[in-house]
Amino acid sequence: MALLGGSVTPLWAQAAKSVALAADKTKPARLAPSLRIVIPANAGGGWDQTGRALGAALVGAGVTDAVEYENKGGKGGTLGLAHYAEKYGSDANTLLMGGMVMVGAIALQKPAIDMGRIRPIARLTSDYLVVVVSANSPVRTVSDLAERIRTQQKETPIAGGSAGGVDHVFSGVFTRGAKGKPEDLLYLPFAGGTEVVQAVLDGRAVAGISGYSEFREALLSGKLRAIGVSSKRSTFGIPAIRERGVDVDMANWRGVFTGEGVPAARQAAMVQAVKAATAHESWQQTLQQNRWESSWLSGPAFSSFIDFDLATSRVMMHLLKLKA
C-alpha cells in the first residue's frame, strides 16, 4: 500500500479491501430504477464522454433503466468533486467520474475537499495524449514545436485541460524534454476539449494537448493535424513523441467513484454493476471508437494506485514549478 508523506493507510484504502471482498461474493444485480452520474467537467470532454458511455452500458447491462447526467466543470474536477461530496456523499444511486486530471488538480490546488471524501469503485480506461496544431500551422512536427519552445517559449502558448491536470503536467514534461523552461510554460487551461480545439483553431494557442477522443472530430474533418502522441510507440497512426526526438511519454486514466457515506455492501454492488457494464457491447464499441484502452482496476489495488498517483503528482508539481 502506497503511503502519502509517511502517514497511516488512508481510511478509504482500508475500506476498499472490505468492499473488494464483498464484491467477490456477489453477482451483478439491479442497482435501482434510475441512477445519476456526476461529471466534474463540461459537456464534450473526456470525462463527459466516459460518463455517458458508462451510463449507456449500465442501462444495456440491465443494472438500471435510466441514467441522469449532471455536469459541473471547473478547476480540474475539484469543483465537481466538492459539489458531489456535499450533495451526494451518502447517495447510493449517484456515481462520480474522476481520474488523473482530478488527482493532478488536487496536488496543485490543495482544495479543502479532496479525494478523502469519495471512495474508489473502478479505474476504467487509459488514454494517451495527442499534440495537435491547426491545419495551416507552420509547425509540422514535434521537432518543430520543440525548437519553437526552445527559441520562442514566451510566444508559444499551449492549450489543454484544467490547471494541474494531466494535459498541464504533460505540457511541463514536454517543455522540459524539449530543453525549455517549465517555469516559463505559457499554458492556457480550459474546462473542456471543445474549448481547447477552438483555442488552437483561432490562433490563441500554437498547439493543443488532450486525449484523442476530444480531438477526433476536428482531426477527421481536417481542421487539426496531430503531430505526436504520448505513447511509447506510434498509436492511431500518429508518431510517438519520443520517436521524434523528445524523450517523454504519459498515459491518462479515468475511473468512477462513490461517496464516503455509501455502505461497503452497496459499494461492492456498484463494483459488480460497473464490471458488467464494461463487458457490454456498447462500452466495447466506445473503447474502439475513441481509441481508449481498457484498464480495469478495483479494490485495494485501485486505492494503492491512486495513492501513488497523488504522491507522484505532488512531486511533479514541485519539479515542474507548475502553479494554479
Whichever domain contains 226, its CATH number is 3.40.190.10
Give the largest Cα separation in the chain, rounded: 60
Per the DSSP assignment, residues forming a β-bridge with 120 are 257
Structural contact between residues 300 and 16, judged by C-beta atoms closer than 8 angstroms: yes
| pLDDT greater than 80 at residue 19 | no
The predicted structure's pLDDT at residue 15 = 53
- The rounded distance, in Å, linking the Cα atoms of 257 and 263 is 13
pLDDT digits (tens, 9 = 90+) for 185-216: 999 998 778 899 999 999 999 999 999 988 99
Last residue of a domain, one of 191, 209, 244: 244
Last residue of a domain, one of 197, 220, 244: 244
Q: pTM of whole model > 0.85?
A: no
Residues 102 and 184 in one domain: no
Residues 122 and 256 in one domain: yes
| pLDDT greater than 90 at residue 24 | no
Residues 188 and 210 in one domain: yes
Q: How far are the Cα atoms of 23, 28, 271, 323 from residue 274, in angstroms, in the given order?
A: 11, 8, 5, 35
pLDDT digits (tens, 9 = 90+) for 29-50: 799 999 999 999 988 888 999 9
| Range ranked top by mean pLDDT from 21-35, 179-193, 263-277 | 263-277
Structural contact between residues 112 and 106, judged by C-beta atoms closer than 8 angstroms: no
Residues 175 and 81 in one domain: no
| pLDDT greater than 50 at residue 6 | no
Whether 87 is in a domain gets the answer yes
Which residue, 53, 121, 123, 87, is CA-closest to 269?
121
Residues 273 and 228 in one domain: no
Q: How many CB atoms lie within 10 A of CB 87?
A: 14
- Tallying the residues shown for the chain, one arrives at 324
The predicted structure's pLDDT at residue 317 = 86
| Residue recorded with cell 462520480 | 96
Q: How far are the Cα atoms of 20, 153, 212, 277, 321 from residue 146, in angstroms, in the given order?
A: 45, 9, 21, 41, 19
Residues 108 and 148 in one domain: no
The CATH number for 59's domain is 3.40.190.150
- The rounded distance, in Å, linking the Cα atoms of 217 and 310 is 32
Q: How far are the Cα atoms of 137, 171, 252, 296, 304 from residue 292, in angstroms, in the given order?
A: 27, 21, 10, 12, 22
Looking at this protein, which amino acid is placed at residue 171? S
Q: How far are the Cα atoms of 157, 174, 240 from residue 136, in angstroms, in the given order?
A: 17, 22, 21
Residue 157's SS3 state is coil
pLDDT digits (tens, 9 = 90+) for 72-92: 998 989 999 999 999 999 999
Looking at this protein, which amino acid is placed at residue 107? A
Number of domains in the chain: 2
Q: What are the grid coordinates assigned to 71, written together?
A: 455536469
Residues 91 and 145 in one domain: no
Confidence of residue 301 (pLDDT cuts 50, 70, 90): very high
Helix axes 100-109, 299-319, angle to 10 degrees: 50
The number of angstroms, rounded, from the C-alpha of 263 to the middle of its chain's C-alpha atoms is: 26
Q: How far are the Cα atoms of 38, 60, 75, 177, 314 from residue 161, in angstroms, in the given order?
A: 18, 31, 9, 20, 18
Tell me the torsion sign for CA atoms 197, 201, 205, 206.
Answer: positive
